[in-house]
Structure 1
């Protein structure tokens, strides 16, 4: 069964998309935890960090670089956080790998 993120990729569910290329899609979180809260997701369905294979290395690297590009686009030159939750016990709510870009206010996460 496709996740809600797969449905966003397929345009079955609307989203406020801020970036897209062949590998990933980024959109504003509907329940933001910071003034800027963007989710960056790979278009390939990968459940979580725990489900990565060696062949996914370039996809993950691409997504991380996309986070940096989007942060610059969003005016976060002073800094930002990138968070990845893994599994239900790790706070992951959607079973599709995603990177949270959080900025616009001082974040102390660790």
Structure 2
């Protein structure tokens, strides 16, 4: 039996705004509200379901993208003036990394969840 991740709940102070923020950066659509959730679905079918909440710990999500998608996402990050880093601890601002033969960059969503786009999976 194959086991796939189907969805994850991402708490946010403004679920709709956070879903739209991520969808805009990734070049995806934020789905229509479904119950208390505002979904963002990735190409492999995993959905990030944003839900309003005020008590939560920050999460980390990494998205594997093609080189062309990285260029487009990174351009949107810069166009929107979103701060970015080469590392998850925010020690290398305004840089990207070249880990595992690819490129990667970290940015925070409106609630401080650390988002990452990478062109090569971490082995």
- TM-score, structure 2 normalization: 0.27
Work out which structure has the larger RCO, using CA pairs closer than 8 Å and 6 or more positions apart in sequence. 1
Compare CA radii of gyration and give the structure with the larger one. Answer: 2
Q: Which has the higher helix share?
A: 1
- TM-score, structure 1 normalization: 0.29
Q: Which has the higher strand share?
A: 2
